[in-house]
Amino acid sequence: MSLGILRSRAISLASKRFLCTNAASASPPLPPPPSAASPSRWSFLKYALVGALTGGTVFAGYASYAYSLDEIEQKTRSLRESAKYTAGDGVTALDKFQGLLYSTAMTVPAKAVELYLDARRVIEEQVKSYTEPYTDKLLPDLLPQEQHVFTLVLDLNETLIHYIWTRDTGWQTFKRPGVDAFLEHLAQFYEIVVYTDEQNMFVDPVIERLDTKHCIRYRLSRPATKYQDGKHFRDLSKLNRNPGKVLYLSGHALESCLQPENCLPIKAWQQQDIDDTALLDFIPFLEFVARSSPPDIRPVLASYQGCDIPSEFIRRSKEHQRRMQEQKNRGRFWK
Amino acid sequence: MADSSSNSKDHHNTRVYHPYQDLNVPIQKLYNLPTAPEHLFPEEAARTHRSWGDNLQYYTGSGYLAGAITGAARGTVQGLREAESADSLKIRLNRVLNSGGLAGRRLGNSLGVVGLIFAGLESGMTHLRGTDDLVNSAVAGLGTGALYRAAAGPQSAAIAGAIGGIAAAAAVAGKQALKRYVPI
């Protein structure tokens, strides 16, 4: 019957089939729709529940965005404590009943808040295991006879090396000019640490090739960095060293370190800059720092802030020599 | 010092630099700086051609992909041409998909196998002769054609070998001409 209806509607050739269609359309009407009373009641309850859950979710999202865990814990302490009611002595039956009723009414919000706090604490601890360095002491303790030694923390990409990928030659890794002499010379005065945001499997073969004389004592890679605002930062406070004796040398020093007062900015290097001498230019300054051994390097670096440190160091050395020469001349004049 | 001027090795591609030259101090340290970018991994720079693994993946994958696309297109056109006027849309679509899929898989597999054999033979030739040039590709093409048609008889294998050798030599010559005359 339905096939006949479809055929007649599609082709509509014979009037006989048309009469069949007409006969089908003359069938009795559908039964009346059921009563809308009971669906309305369930629908109201369903919408109320959905609204409550949505409101709770939105509020929890706003609380996660606007407040930290400790702030929420403090703000909701009174709410959570009001759910635990203990009847004191000497209260009337009416007051006891009112307190019991209030604590019962407050149980649901208090339980909800506690559930939210527990879930958030668990999630934040999980996230912290990815974003924080894997330990608070990234380096072992200094030897007793090396307490005066400065720690030179070096970055890797665009500071000691530069790697590039082209479809003609694939991956190529280049050494900065003078990096061998730089490491070998400064290993006499400093404890050299490489602290980079690259992965371990990249850092280990690079340093094995770069450091054939074992001038670099320690390697720290991406698990040792602190992930913050979408970037991997070096946290020099976790190096287990005196913060007044730590120097961080990098082509992106000020924007990749959490302690900018310990930073030595150097020009970022790429392989087409074959006349670069920035690493070797830093040798006089770093050697002078190691020999004079100031108790805290941070005021010294603060005085060099905004300058090109090697050229500023040379300028100050010349000025110092000129002043010493003038003093000698003045002494001779008095004689 | 490893790079100091007292070391008399490989002075030919370095220049001498004195970081203390602006300071009137008696420290005399000269460092040799390279005049060209210095590779950390010299084997990266010394690589002149793809490794045998890269060759295998490249030729097999691109051969299969080219064959699959070409075969699918040809099968689709053939399926469209075979459609009868009384067919419904579903039957027509089913025939087109069947024809395209079957022809695509068949031609893709054939070209993939050809790429596999060619990659193996060319890498073997490069390893044996120690050089990478036109002769390797031509001989590998000849061997590929002969191997591919070996089961069909010696005469068919000889003809296929000749076609393979000529095609490989033409491809390499075309690539070199393309590199020389087309400014990419």
Q: How confident is the model at residue A146 (pLDDT cuts 50, 70, 90)?
A: confident
Residues A191, A235, single domain; the answer is yes
Q: Which of A175, A213, A314 sits opposite B23 (nearest CB)?
A: A314
Contacts of A305 (CB under 8 A, 6+ apart): none
A 188-217 residues with CB < 8 A to B: 206, 209-210, 213
Per-residue confidence band for B157, with pLDDT thresholds at 50, 70 and 90:
very high
End-to-end Cα spacing for chain A: 133
Is A160 found in the same domain as A95? no
Taking the C-alpha atoms of residue B60 and residue B67, their distance in angstroms, rounded to an integer, is 11
Task: Return the residue in B4, B32, B41 with the most chain A beta carbons within 10 A, the one to mutate for interface testing.
Answer: B41
- Asked, for residue A35, whether it belongs to a domain, the answer is no
Q: In this structure, are A69 and A210 located in the same domain? A: no
Confidence of residue B67 (pLDDT cuts 50, 70, 90): very high
> Which of A165, A180, A202, A214 to mutate against chain B (most B CBs within 10 Å)?
A180
Domain boundary among A86, A101, A131: A131
Give the gap in angstroms from C-alpha B136 to the nearest C-alpha of chain A: 21
Question: Which carries the bigger pLDDT value, residue B119 or residue B41?
Answer: B119
Q: How far apart are CA A178 and CA A274, in angstroms?
A: 11
Range of the domain at A183: 147-330
Residue A38 in domain: no
Distance CA A29, CA A39 (A): 24
Residue A29 in domain = no
In a domain, A117, yes or no: yes
For residue B6, pLDDT beyond 50:
no
A117 & A226 share domain: no
State pLDDT tens for residues A17-58. 444 444 444 445 556 655 555 567 678 888 898 998 889 888
Which of the two residues, B21 and B1, has the higher pLDDT score? B21
Q: What are phi and psi of B11, to 5 degrees?
A: -80, -10
Confidence band of B160 (pLDDT split at 50, 70, 90): very high
Q: pLDDT value at position A335?
A: 52
Are the Cβ atoms of A181 and B3 closer than 8 angstroms? yes
Q: Which residues of chain B does A169 touch, with a Cβ-Cβ cutoff of 8 Å?
A: 44, 47
Domain-embedded: residue A10: no
Nearest CA to CA, how far is A255 from chain B (Å)? Answer: 26
State yes or no: pLDDT of A285 exceeds 80: yes
Q: Is position A37 within any domain?
A: no
Q: Check: CB of residue B74 under 8 Å from CB of residue B103.
A: yes
Share the mean pLDDT of chain A: 78
Q: Taking residues A160-170, what's their average pLDDT? A: 79
Distances (CA, A) of A208 to A278, B1, B37, B173: 23, 19, 19, 42
Which pLDDT value is given to residue B94? 86
Confidence at residue A39, expressed as pLDDT on a 0 to 100 scale:
63
A198-240 pLDDT per residue, tens: 888 888 888 877 888 888 888 888 888 888 788 788 888 888 8
Structural domains in chain A (count):
2
Does one domain contain both A262 and A233? Answer: yes
Look at residue A31 and tell me if it is in a domain. Answer: no
pLDDT at B9: 42
Q: Are residues A178 and A319 in the same domain?
A: yes
Write down the pLDDT at residue B54.
Answer: 81
Interface with chain B: mutation pick from A164, A280, A283, highest number of B CBs within 10 Å: A280
Measured on CA atoms in the order A137, A138, A144, A146, is the torsion positive or negative? negative
Q: Single out the residue of A103, A198, A69 nearest to residue A206, CA to CA.
A: A198
The number of C-beta contacts closer than 8 angstroms across A and B is: 70
- For residue A14, being part of any structural domain is answered with no
Question: How high is the pLDDT of residue B145?
Answer: 93
Burial-class residue B167 by CB neighbours within 10 Å (0-12, 13-18, 19+). middle
Are residue A81 and residue A127 in the same domain, yes or no?
yes
pLDDT in tens, B85-128: 777 888 878 878 888 998 998 789 898 999 999 999 988 988 88
Residues B2 and A213 sit within 8 Å (Cβ to Cβ)? yes
State whether A152 and A219 are in the same domain: yes
Shortest distance, CA B130 to any CA of chain A (angstroms): 20
Q: Do both A193 and A261 map to the same domain?
A: yes
Closest residue to B24, CB basis, from A175, A283, A321: A321
**Closest chain A C-alpha to B61 CA, distance in angstroms:** 18
Q: Give the CATH number, domain containing residue A180.
A: 3.40.50.1000
Chain B neighbors of A281, CB-CB under 8 A: 19
Task: Work out the percent of chain A whose per-residue pLDDT is above 90.
Answer: 1
Answer whether A277's CB lies under 8 Å from A176's CB: no
Question: Is A155 at the interface with chain B, CB within 8 A?
Answer: no
Residues A228 and A312 in one domain: yes
